Amino acid sequence: MKEIFNDSCREVLINQLASGMPITLRVATSSMTPEINPGDFVTIAPQPEKDFSFGDILLIKQEKEWVIHRLISIKECNGELYATTIGDNAIYADPSIPAKNILGKVVHARRKNKDVSLSCKTPLTNIDNVLLLASLPFIKTPAIKDITNIFKHEDFIATADAECLAPLIHFYHRDLNGDTWHAMQDKYLKILSRNTVFLDSLQIIAQRLGTVKFILLKGAFLAFHLYPSYGLRQFSDIDILIKPSETPTVHEKLLQLGYNRITGSEQGGNIPNVSMYLNSALYRSSKPEMPHIHVHWHLANSITPKYKTTNINMEKIWHSAVTTSHKWLSLSPEHLMIHLCEHAIRHSFDRLILIRDIAEVMVSKQIDWNQLVDDCRNFGLTRHVYYSLVYLSRKTGITAPLEIIEKLRPVKPGICGRLFLKLATNGIRRPELCNLVYMESETNSLDRLKYIIKTFFPPKQVLAHAYGLRHIGPFTYGFRIIRSIIHITKTIINILLKIKTRKELTT
């Protein structure tokens, strides 16, 4: 909501707030609907600079405009506080502003001579916000302690652990005491110990691969190169990207190290074909201390046909790869961002660490945003990056340049994509929901129907590749259908429970 005044009017209103008296404004826009609608009158009370909470509806000064939006994060930088706000009906968060630009807090609203009930959409209704904010290094520590006290000790620890954010919360808020923080410390130390062993194993594997060039992907790369400690990013296996022609060599080298291929066994060590489905193989070591190795020969990788509308240029991926101080390469910052966004969408943000990874890249890497937009368009991945960046902005206030988000925004955003983003924003992040985004990528209803059929009935060779089986029969497809029905039912129940819980919390 924005109000337009001349300078003299603003000065009078600011003086009134400074004297401790409230002011009344008429809302002009719909950015806060349905909470506050155009034409509503709101009462603004004076607010001390440091006396505000997450979820408060604030009157702030943005350049030459006054805006009424909701507070979603408080940052501390060089001893100064910065606030980030967002409209309830906005696509992404506002640019951060100094806390001194907060003029007051909305304490009352009237609509057609009737009082409007103002809810405080704090983390009380969505723990996702709390966990993501608590995992960031620049969020004001006392505020984190205040909002985490809303939740039960056991629930907070269990959820942080499930979302893989417990180590980060401990690492960036070690000055806080209590049972919650000690439990986080234990989790961090366990992951640090495990990852150190895994990364030592990676050095051995890289040494054995010799001259084979590979790009380190996902969790292992993030733990080893991006986060400030090995113990901050949990990962279950080591993902490496190789060229298809190197597959036989890598296969033989891993066999010599005591690994066995447990998926795609029908292909053995032959040079594989690149498909719209699976483009990887998983290797397991006979030594329990050695991590699984997930070998990819293309960045597109799924058991369902999610990549029919994409065209990832692997030659460009390899040409832009960055040399590290070790025996492996890394994706360029732009391709790393695209890959993490695609991966997060494919898993429907089912673990918040996936979106936290994107935040870490944004704050620690120099990204050529125009190059990223060009590559997104050429690769057919604009929707994946757009929805990921919007979700990150809504949850944490960390926002890519607004002109870049607008360039990535679909020309005709469909109902499927909007529904996916709405569900995810409200904490419903079941893996199968990503199909909404992929169906939106299809051009017509017939293509969407084909996508659904291929999702339930992928080719036999794809299932054999995924499960490491030689024979695929009706039982396998029947099992997939039953499992899908169960997942869909759980998703619907989850949505209904979320709606019920929200109504209870706001009444």
pLDDT of the chain along its 507 residues, tens only?
455 556 667 777 877 877 788 888 888 888 888 888 888 888 888 876 566 777 788 888 887 788 889 888 888 777 788 888 888 888 888 888 888 888 888 888 888 878 777 766 554 447 888 888 889 887 765 556 666 666 777 788 888 999 999 999 889 887 666 666 788 888 899 999 999 999 999 999 999 999 999 999 999 999 999 999 999 999 989 999 999 999 999 999 999 999 999 876 555 567 787 888 889 999 999 888 889 999 999 999 888 888 877 899 999 999 999 999 899 999 999 999 999 999 999 999 999 999 999 999 999 999 999 999 999 999 999 999 999 999 999 888 899 998 999 999 988 777 888 889 888 888 888 888 888 899 888 878 888 888 888 888 888 888 777 776 677 778 777 777 787 777 777 777 776 666 655 554 444
* Nearest in space to 54 (alpha carbons), one of 117, 115, 145: 145
Token pair listed for 45: 């009370």
Partners of residue 216 on adjacent β-strands: 240
In three state form, how does the secondary structure of 148-204 look? Answer: HCCCCHHHHHHHHHHCCCHHHHHHHCCCCCCHHHHHHHHHHHHHHHHHHHHHHHHHH
Please, what sign has the CA dihedral across residues 210, 249, 332, 92? negative
Model pTM score: 0.87
Please name the amino acid found at residue 27: V
CA distance 126 to 8: 41
Cα 122 to Cα 250, 260, 374, 449, 498: the distances in Å are: 50, 49, 37, 40, 15
What lies within 8 Å, CB to CB, of 495 at 6+ separation is 423, 428
CA atoms within 13 A on the CB side of 367: 24
Instruction: Report helix angle 382-396 to 127-134, nearest 10.
Output: 90
Please answer whether residues 294 and 238 qualify as being in contact, where contact means their C-beta atoms are separated by less than 8 angstroms. Answer: yes
CA distance 294 to 284: 9
**112 C-beta neighbours (distance < 10 Å), count:** 9
CA atoms within 13 A on the CB side of 179: 8
